[in-house]
């Protein structure tokens, strides 16, 4: 079972309209050269429609960084999964550590967003990961499994295999310049895949795309993706310049067997 790597750029609250236009021109160039890899960008909500339009026909995935589970209502400042789908995006990130730890989203909040996204036809990247204190206390698997189980609860195996990407992002490695070693990443990725095998079966687990995230850069991506269970990367800082992001995409073409 081979898995096509997925390199996703999470732009967080960065860039602007003009910068994004230039970025999309670079990405849409025909000599872009990233084959054997799936590439996606996740702009701030207000630029989603612009990016969807600019990248139409390129095969590059465009998604949101979060969504609200309700279709509409009195939720000032929120954006519904329905609206993300309505502007033509295909994906949404749920449970990013900044949503969990800065904005206080619980496992139940993340699950509601994930279910709403799937119901509205969006595929999801479900982020899981432990803090440094949890890792030092030997609780990495307990925390990651709790977040994983909550996110995948009640989903049928085919949905998990084809519409869910899991991103393992140790919180201590995000935006800090500290990267998990390839062996540390592989350990958790293998544990996540085994956990999914236990709940959804071996076939689903073998097809599941598991990205690594946390200070991924062009100079460390190959080694990470070279690990047997690392199928791509969710990238913040290094996804903000077209040259760096394109380098990541080109380097991310190692297909895991």
Question: Which residues are catalytically annotated?
Answer: 96, 169
The minimum distance between CB 212 and ligand PGA, in angstroms, equals 10
User: What does the alpha-carbon distance between residue 222 and residue 238 come to, in Å, rounded to a whole number?
Assistant: 14
User: What does the alpha-carbon distance between residue 122 and residue 169 come to, in Å, rounded to a whole number?
Assistant: 21
- Between 134 and 169, whose beta carbon lies closer to ligand PGA? 169
- Between 39 and 204, whose beta carbon lies closer to ligand PGA? 39
Distance set, CA 161 to CA 97, 129, 237 (Å): 23, 20, 28
Which single residue brings its beta carbon nearest to ligand PGA?
236
Question: Looking up tokens 């085919």, which residue turns up?
Answer: 158
Binding site for ligand PGA (CB under 6 A): 10, 169, 174-175, 213-216, 234-238
The minimum distance between CB 154 and ligand PGA, in angstroms, equals 26
Question: Looking up tokens 């994983």, which residue turns up?
Answer: 148
Beta bridge partners of 61: 40
Closest CA to 64 of 102, 141, 116: 116
The minimum distance between CB 238 and ligand PGA, in angstroms, equals 6
- Between 126 and 204, whose beta carbon lies closer to ligand PGA? 126
């Amino acid at each position: 079972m081979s898995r096509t790597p997925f390199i996703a750029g999470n732009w967080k609250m960065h860039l602007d309209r003009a910068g994004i236009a230039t970025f999309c021109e670079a990405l849409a160039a025909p000599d872009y050269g990233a084959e054997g890899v799936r590439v996606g960008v996740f702009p701030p909500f207000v630029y989603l429609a612009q990016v969807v339009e600019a990248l139409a026909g390129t095969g590059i995935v465009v998604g949101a960084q979060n969504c609200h589970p309700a279709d509409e209502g009195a939720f000032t400042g929120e954006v519904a999964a329905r609206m993300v789908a309505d502007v033509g995006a295909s994906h949404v990130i749920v449970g990013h550590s900044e949503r969990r730890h800065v904005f206080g989203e619980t496992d139940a909040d993340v699950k509601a967003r994930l279910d709403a996204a799937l119901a509205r036809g969006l595929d999801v990247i479900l982020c899981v990961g432990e803090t440094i204190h949890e890792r030092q206390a030997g609780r990495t698997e307990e925390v990651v499994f709790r977040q994983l189980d909550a996110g995948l609860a009640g989903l049928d195996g085919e949905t998990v295999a084809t519409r869910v990407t899991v991103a393992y992002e140790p919180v201590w490695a995000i935006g800090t310049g500290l990267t998990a070693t390839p062996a540390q990443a592989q350990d958790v990725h293998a544990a996540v895949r085994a956990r999914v095998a236990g709940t959804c079966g071996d076939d689903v687990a073998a097809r599941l795309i598991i990205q690594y995230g946390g200070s991924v850069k062009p100079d460390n991506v190959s080694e990470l993706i070279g690990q047997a269970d690392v199928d791509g990367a969710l990238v913040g800082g290094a996804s903000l310049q077209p040259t760096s992001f394109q380098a990541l995409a080109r380097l991310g073409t190692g297909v895991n067997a």
